[in-house]
Amino acid sequence: MTTCEIVAERVALDEDLGEHADHAASCERCRELVAVAGKLGATHHAIDPGLGFSARMTVGAQQRIATRRRRRIATTVGVTTAAAVAMVFVVTRPTDPKPEPVIAMNPIKTEVEPPVVVDDADLKLLVSDPEAAARTTADWKHITTPLRPYKKLLQGIR
């Protein structure tokens, strides 16, 4: 605050000028301000602020509060949006550069491999006659016989 502002504040609050009295006597603006305050004090009647003064002050204060609130909300939304965009950028950005494709240096095979020969009777039956292979069944007595000792072991367990 400048010295002129301090003098104006003290005059408005009707306080003693104190150490700023020398400045008020030498500065033209401050001298006029002190003189006007003295003339107003000499009139000896209260200054009427006018009809509806408190209503005007209340409306003005509410407008200021609403404006500050709108600015605060807009700032919060803007900062939040910027942070979200930054996070999306950081999360979706690839960490490593795109790897260059590796060219395989495999030689081309020009030789033909001979077919594999299998001497399996079941495979020959399946290939030669699939329907007959589908009708073939297993001997279930032969399959369940080795399981009898395990059945006795598990009789009491469910």
What confidence tens digit (pLDDT) does each residue in 84-122 have? Answer: 999 999 888 877 666 666 665 656 666 777 766 666 776
For the cut 70, the answer to whether the pLDDT of residue 146 exceeds it is no
Q: Which residue would you say has higher pLDDT here, 10 or 38? A: 10
What's the rounded Cα separation, in Å, for the pair 3 and 9? Answer: 10
Q: Which residue would you say has higher pLDDT here, 15 or 80? A: 80
Cβ neighbours of residue 126 under 8 Å, at least 6 residues apart? 133
CB 4 within 8 A of CB 11: no
Grade residue 54 by pLDDT with cuts at 50, 70 and 90. confident
